[in-house]
Chain A
Amino acid sequence: MAIKDYIRERFFPHIWCPGCGHGMVLNALLRAFEDLAISKNEIVMVSGIGCSARISGYVDVHTLHTIHGRALAFATGVKMSRPELNLIVPMGDGDALAIGGNHFIHAARRNIDITAIVMNNRIYGMTGGQYSPLSGYGTLATTAPFINIDHAFDVVELAKAAGATFVARTTTYHVKQMSELFKEAILREGFSVIEVLTQCPTYFGRKNKAGSAVDMVKSFKDNTTPVGSKAKLESPGLIERGIFVQKDLPEYTREYDKVIERAMKKR
């Protein structure tokens, strides 16, 4: 199937600003679908609220656009009822880790088969540029007009500690890698987290003098390095990208089948 067959042309043009990274994530995701040649009827996309969450509306799969921070909880209900479906949950950094932080760690802990994508632009785009739990110390935002004194989560460390069985990071500069990681995550059974560093030129960029969208994307190239590379030893400030965790552990809905088996014996 060609990429355009995966989109709902009727619903374009999209709502994103020129240069927004969210469209690049959409593109990489569609490429992953195309490469995997999965039937559109087997994919469910569940999203919350945010610029990032609007991604679901544009894709011609089963799409559930829910409330802020709760997409993973809705997805858990869908997956429990229909374990054969492929669940993909794209989230903004605020959606996933501020208001949705609790659902995030618990979905990871259960190892339920969901592909969680954190579209990390380090800001609340939809509400106009407030700081998020991933903005980081020293940044500026409309709600941190002097300096942000909140420290950021490390999404990879958090997901690891919470029990995700596939954890990766990439950026909008590395679209090819992003697509590959999406494919890998979709094929795997279990809770997968892919953090994508993406740009919000309109708010994060402007507030923090990060330049144009192009400059921001280029900075992802300059400030990251493949996981385990020598460069990281020389410049510890570099952010690693690639696969951090990849392990096989029993998946939640399959485990629940065992509960059913035991329960039936007790009838």
Chain B
Amino acid sequence: MNGTLKFVQGNEACVEGALYAGLKFFAGYPITPSTEIAESLAYRLPQIGGKFIQMEDEIGSMCAIIGASLTGSKVMTATSGPGFSLMQEALGYAIMAEIPCVIANVQRGGPSTGLATRGAQGDVMQSRWGTHGDHAIVVMTASNNQDVFNITIEAFNVAETYRTPVILLFDEVMGHTRERLIVPEKDEIPLVERLRTSVKGGVDYHPYLPREDGRLPMSDFGGVHRYNVTGLYHDMWGFPSENPAVVDGLIHHLTDKIRNNVHTITQYKEYFIEDARTILISYGSTARSALHHVLNRRKRGEYIGLLELQTLWPFHGDLIREKCKNAELVVVTEMNLGQLYRQVKIAVDHPERVFLANRVDGVFITPTDIKNMLRLIQGRGV
């Protein structure tokens, strides 16, 4: 790959990815361990004529990026647990009004102020169900800087394709790990620009009338078409409606557009799954240790593999079932009390073969931790 070699933190890799994807507007509020994203963009965005604003809180940040996105810009905010909690209501608004945006949540230990400077993966379920009401959401993650860069670009592409918020669920360890990153030349990675309406100004434009393929061509808000945007259930004009058929149609449109595309949206990596008797399933920073362990054991002839999920939601249960069908042991490795583990258990043919190898004490899971936990699970003692 051609490009510029850099030595950066995960948070900066995220910034590089966002700028590569065409980010033009960022609003945020400082919080450890995500702050470097805001600091870096405060510097970089105005250099390309983009805009940065430090809002009065995370609620305002989320609202400001939604407003900016509507006018046609690619937008993003970044935060961690406490701030992510504050964003939930506006996140639901972006889902309802179908406004593309990217939210990076660099996770720390929770609940509450929790562990500000320690890695954790406790927001897997919050990112799925944090905002109220039935809805679909896309959540992505990665385990090394190059992948953080790539998945950030993918997050923007998915947000624009499906007109949806996309959450990047990183964590403190990933955010602060320094390693190499190659930023490819322009045009090497395909970018998705939002689908814009071909309806001319002065002609009736229905902002919320999906095409046959379910997509909604947008008109930049404040441009040639005047229309209404609301977080209430709405008709094709974007005007509030309580008509049961309209409500039913909209909630299904909002969830189906993600669910029906789970195959296209899902990204994952697999290592030695083919003949593996033991499969580790992991994501984000913990997948680094899991991979390390797998490589170690493979050298010793053990039939072990790793399935690294990069898309957590929509959850691709069929994929998990298929990959795990021949495994004697499936071990989910994560830094929480089993948030993804429970999903995996539901998905596979043999839930009794699924185990959890976790840490929730603020200490990063090392390959040795995984080795020891596997021995315990296998009844071999440490």
Contact = CB atoms under 8 A, between A and B. Distances in A.
Interface in A248-267: 256, 259-260, 262-264, 266-267
Contact of A74 (B64, B222, B227): B64
A243 interface: no
B68 A77 contact: yes
Contacts of B53: 76, 80, 256
A77 B226 contact: no
B63 A82 contact: no
Given A64-B221, A264-B46, A266-B47, A74 B25 contact: no
Nearest to B72: A81
Contacts, number: 126
Interface string A47-91: 000000000110011111111001001111111111001000000
A190 to B, nearest CB: 17
A60 B55 contact: no
A44 interface: yes
A74 B63 contact: yes
A77 B47 contact: no
B231 A73 contact: no
Contacts of A174: none
Contact of B71 (A63, A66, A81): A81
Given A62-B222, A62-B226, A74 B51 contact: no
A73 B64 contact: yes
B214 interface: no
Most-contacted residue by chain A among B55, B228, B237 (CB, 10 A): B228
Given A78-B68, A81-B51, A63 B228 contact: yes
B275 interface: no
B6 to A, nearest CB: 17
B177 to A, nearest CB: 28
A69 B225 CA distance: 26
A266 B48 CA distance: 11
Interface string B42-79: 01001101010101110111011111111111010000
Interface in A166-191: none
Interface string B281-321: 00000000000000000000000000000000000000000
A57 B66 contact: no
Contacts of B362: none
Nearest to A49: B231
Contacts of B64: 73-74, 76-77, 80
B226 A70 contact: no
Q: How large is the interface on B (under 10, 10 to 19, 20 to 34, 35 or more residues)?
A: 35 or more
Contacts of A60: 226
B230 interface: yes
B90 A70 contact: yes
Nearest to B44: A263
A73 B53 CA distance: 11
B240 interface: yes
Most-contacted residue by chain B among A60, A81, A106, A263 (CB, 10 A): A81
B229 A85 contact: no
B56 A78 contact: no
A67 B27 contact: no
Contacts of A264: 46-47, 49
Contacts of B271: none
A63 B49 CA distance: 26
A206 interface: no
Contacts of A76: 27, 53, 55, 60, 63-64, 67
B54 to A, nearest CB: 10
A57 B228 contact: yes
A142 B93 CA distance: 29
Contact of B231 (A41, A67, A102): A67
Nearest to B240: A57
Interface in B181-196: none
A77 B25 contact: yes
Contacts of A63: 226-229
B93 A66 contact: yes
B231 A103 contact: no
B229 A64 contact: yes
A11 interface: yes
A77 B27 contact: yes
A232 interface: no
A106 B223 CA distance: 27
Contacts of B221: 44, 62, 64, 78
A80 B230 CA distance: 20
B228 A65 contact: yes
Given A80-B25, A81-B68, A263-B46, A70 B228 contact: no
B56 A106 contact: yes
Contacts of B240: 57, 65
Interface string B15-59: 000000000110100000000000000010011010101011101
A213 interface: no
A96 B161 CA distance: 35
A80 B63 contact: no
Contacts of A97: none
B239 interface: yes
Interface in B207-257: 221-224, 226-232, 237, 239-240
A34 to B, nearest CB: 16
Given A56-B228, A64-B229, A259-B46, A102 B56 contact: yes
8 contacts: A41-B222, A44-B221, A70-B60, A74-B66, A76-B53, A76-B60, A81-B51, A81-B71
Given A77-B66, A264-B47, 9 more contacts: A64-B221, A67-B89, A67-B93, A73-B67, A74-B63, A75-B67, A76-B63, A85-B222, A106-B60
The 7 closest A-B pairs by CB, nearest first: A77-B67, A77-B64, A263-B46, A73-B63, A73-B60, A77-B68, A65-B230
Interface of B: 24-25, 27, 43, 46-47, 49, 51, 53, 55-57, 59-61, 63-73, 75, 89-90, 93, 221-224, 226-232, 237, 239-240
